[in-house]
Amino acid sequence: MTPRRSGRFLRPAVLLALALAIVPAAGADEALRVLDALIRAYPERVGSLGIRQGDWSVLIDGEPFFWAEGRMLPESDRHRIDEFRPYGFRPYPREMPPLRELNPEEVAELRRRIDRRETLQDARNPAFLTALWGMADFAGAEATVERMDFLNRNVRIHPGIREPLEQVEARIVTAAEHDPQVAAWVDGLGTIGAYVWRDIAGSANRSLHSFGIAIDLIPADYGRRPVYWRWARDIYPEWWAIPYDDRFPVPDAVVAAFEDNGFTWGGKWFLFDQIHFEYRPELRLLEP
């Protein structure tokens, strides 16, 4: 969907040229790319990309949300910009990213960042996700989620991801018919978890599980392979450098089935989570 401004369709390049005369050039290109991706990912909810009050913004169900250096703030919280961390709108990699080798200074900075996060100093403004998915509180979430069968397990999800998950399941079932690796992975599943009301472990932010848009495919046996960075760091001092082949594997065909339907996989994250998928079609549109 092409970005909209004042009811007219304008190309992103035209909007960027107009913006540079109004807002600082630094960050304008990133703001445009991300907000345009949000409009294309959620065309029924997000629109009207433009400049309001000197900043990039979009409307979500008619309410303006301002870029605010990636913080996605409602108008009522623009004056509180220093209280919130930016959202992680990083482009999702097509391939497995190279493992990073960290020097001592980088290791120290990584540990400082994790410490800040785990002392709950990483809060993002919750209004953006709440506007996008609803479910502002536990009662609202419980009233919104619905049940569906996925790979012969019953899970609770946000109704907005039912169709993508049905497409994912169809791909996995078809792949399992002729790919022994996929068939063995399906047979080895223990439980599947989707909606649960909770925060991200070691964070001040709500998990996407609490919006019903994340799903964990949990095997009956991990085979003693690292699966999650927070668990791995208790055993491996350089957990970020654990070779991909040594981590708990998910078949390529399964990952592709999710990715092709708007999901991202935690196995490609630096803070890895091999069993975790979440519905983030905007990040898929930001692929490099």
Give the start-to-end residue ranges of the domains of the chain: 4-83, 104-284
- Helices 252-259 and 162-176 meet at what angle, rounded to 10? 150
Give the neighbor-by-neighbor strand order of the sheet with 276-279. 189-193, 214-219, 276-279, 263-265
Q: Determine the Cα–Cα distance for residues 159 and 108; give it in Å rounded to an integer.
A: 42
**For residue 153, which amino acid is it?**
R
Question: Token digits for 8?
Answer: 């007219």
> Which has more confidence, 40 or 204?
40
CB 267 within 8 A of CB 247: yes
pLDDT of 13-24, one tens digit each?
545 555 444 445
CB 19 within 8 A of CB 51: yes
pLDDT at 7 over 50: no
Q: Look at residue 191 in the predicted model and tell me its pLDDT.
A: 97
Question: Token digits for 31?
Answer: 């703001």
pLDDT of 51-79, one tens digit each?
999 999 999 999 999 999 999 999 999 99
Radius of gyration, alpha carbons of the chain: 20
CB 70 within 8 A of CB 89: yes
Torsions phi, psi for 150 (to 5 deg): -135, 115
